[in-house]
Structure 1
Amino acid sequence: MTELVLLALAGFVGGAMNALAGGGSFVTLPALIAAGVPSVAANTSSSVALYPAGAVSAWVYRGGLTRVCGVPLRPTLAVTLVGGLMGALLLLWTPSTIFDRVLPWLLLSATATLFFGPRLRTLVQRRFQASATLILSLQFMLGVYGGYFGGAVGLMMMSAWSLLDEADVKSLNPVKTLLVTAANTVAIICFAVAGAVDWGAAAALGTGAIIGGYGGAHLGRRLPAAVIRWATLIATAAITVAFFGRAYFTG
């Protein structure tokens, strides 16, 4: 019983983090592993558990949906769904040991992009034209990442978009939440069909995540953009340090 309560609390924190900035799996994945769930099953179960919270947050944010760097939402959503499907299949069919080594560097890139984004934006926009092809290709890769692992995928989306668009982090939150939920939709269907989910642990985690996601989304609509940006930076830095430790200094 105590274990289920702790999982629910971890879900609450993870759901709120995802709604505000992203990186909720930083809390939920270690909680599942600590509860005795094998790492691959913990990864899939975390995605399943956080899905309802993401859907609730997307519903709260529905009035703020906008284009992604000038690209209409429908094609962006479509490539995210296809990428999420491919990423989920990769997770089920290939070992994750190599990706565990690459992941911290991806997160470090996300942290640097968010931190230096305002300064790098002008340089990037001089060298690269933010065409629909570039945006959709980038979003497809982010969808693959979301389906395969998903850790901090929301943070990585906002990092990439911030280099190509003038919009602030707060205004990107609604569409980020929707697209993360889209990638997770096809992923969890694959995980469920493959029997790769610990449903008991996911249910406890998900219950807390729904409450946290709902509250976090409402809070995210009210907080100033600067507060959300700095919260995002702090969360990303913490996640990066933790995953470097997990990949290179444990086991």
Structure 2
Amino acid sequence: MFDIVLLFVAGVLGGMLNAVAGGGTFITFPALVFTGVPPVAANATTTVAALPGYLAAAWGFRRDIRVMEGAPLLRVTIWTMAGGAVGAGLLMVSSNEGFAMLVPFLLLLATVVFTWSDQVRRAASRWRRAVTPFGLGTLLPMAVYGGYFNGGLGIIMLAVFAMWGMTDLHQMNGLKSWLSFALSLIALAVFAAGGSIVWGPAAIMALGTIIGGYSGAPVARRIPRPVLRLLIALVGFGMTAIFFWRLIQGA
């Protein structure tokens, strides 16, 4: 019973964070691992569980992304799914042991990028004249990373959007939610074919992400960002420390 409650609450919080600023994986992935799901399966399952939350968040931001309807949105969606499929395929050929060794470093990278996300976006915006808006040179690497490890993907997406010249944060959050949904959808197909999804925990967590994802859009307009970012950063660094400790203990 405790595991069910933990997974559901982690889903709600993770879905809300993904909708507001990213960082939901800092909660959902560790929750699955702590309930006994192997690392590769936990990463695949948390990506799938976040899928309905991403869709709910995109729906919440639908007015903000409406101006991108048409060819640009369709093109970036298709290429995001292509890159996500490659990344998901790479995860399928990774062993639990090898992936477990990478997890603390991936979490640390994602947390650092998240914590200094404003600086990352500002730095990225300086490259917008040298980067093709909606170009594959920035889109595909982002999507491959997201298919392999979902942690910090939202922040990386926002940095890429800044490089493209986008400035409306709500529109950027809407596009982030939509592309995250598209990426998770193709990853679901790859992970399901590879038999790496633990469906029971995925269903419990997905229910939570729907609630958190949809409620996250209005929260994004009200919650003080410095407070939210501090809390997410503390969670991220805390989870990173725990996984480094687990790695050292298992060595």
TM score, norm. by length of structure 1: 0.83
Contact 1:75–1:136, Cα closer than 8 Å, also in 2 = no
RMSD: 2.7
Q: How many residues align?
A: 242
Paired residue for 1:245?
241
State the distance in 2 between where 1:37 and 1:105 align.
21
The alpha-carbon distance between structure 1 residues 154 and 185, as it changes in their structure 2 partners (threshold 3 A), is same
CA distance in 2, matches of 1:101, 1:198: 22
1:103 and 2:93 are equivalent in the alignment:
no
Task: Give, as a single letter, the amino acid of the residue that structure 1 aligns with 2:130.
Answer: Q
Which residues of 2 match residues 1-251 of structure 1 at below 5 A? 1-65=1-65, 66=67, 72-95=72-95, 96-97=99-100, 99-100=102-103, 102-104=105-107, 106-107=109-110, 110-111=113-114, 114-117=117-120, 120=123, 123-125=126-128, 129-132=130-133, 135-165=135-165, 167-220=167-220, 222-223=221-222, 227-228=224-225, 230=226, 233-234=229-230, 237-238=233-234, 240-242=236-238, 244-246=240-242, 248-251=244-247
**Offset of 1:121 from its aligned partner?**
5.3
Structure 1 residues 98 and 190 mapped into 2: Cα distance closer, same or farther (>3 Å)? same
Deviations along 1:113-144, whole A, 9 cap, x unmatched? 5232475357545xx512247x3221111111
Identity score, percent: 32
Q: TM-score, normalised by structure 2?
A: 0.83
- Structure 1 gap segments, 5+ residues each: none
8 Å CA contact 2:139–2:160 kept in 1: the answer is: no
Measure the CA separation in 2 of the matches of 1:162 and 1:191: 31
Q: 1:79 to 1:204 in 2, by over 3 A?
A: same
1:8–1:240 CA distance, 2 compared to 1 (3 A): closer
Q: Unmatched 5+ residue regions in structure 2? A: none
1:197 alignment partner, SS class: coil
